[in-house]
Amino acid sequence: MITELLTRETLLADVTCDSWEELVDIAGAPLTQSGAVTPEFLESIKETVARYGSYMVVIDDIALFHGRPEAGVQRIALSLALLTQPVYLNEARIKAAFVLAATDNDSHIDLMRELASGLGDEGLLRLLRENGSPDSILNALTRLEQLDEKP
């Protein structure tokens, strides 16, 4: 599922920004441009982070920004932004950020499982943390997805 959602259009490389708020807007832009989410969805992510803190930094250097389906999600979607320089959410450093949009509380379960598996792969983590090329990241995700499908 990840490789169906994360494509050359939704994977942004060499991103520069000054804050995590700006990062949410940049990383979420492909999703708003495609109509998968409304701009209000990105605002809801920022409001959630402001309220609950840095829990969306799920592993060192990697953020998984997400919001409530009713905040403007039209269809399940995923994007990724790779930063040239980190930004900080409180004390947490971010070098790569996913934006996940789910249409309901259940539709993202398989995607979350795939992401969790991927974030356990040191090769993929290195690419995410070191601003790897989009092709390298997409190839790594395809490889991991194929491994996950084998019985």
Q: Say if residues 134 and 11 touch (Cβ distance below 8 Å).
A: yes
**Predicted local confidence at residue 149, as pLDDT:** 65
User: Which residues of the chain, if any, have pLDDT below 70?
Assistant: 148-151
**Predicted local confidence at residue 6, as pLDDT:** 92
The pTM of the full predicted model, rounded to 2 decimals, is 0.92
Domains plus CATH for the chain?
2-149 (3.40.930.10)
**Predicted local confidence at residue 151, as pLDDT:** 55
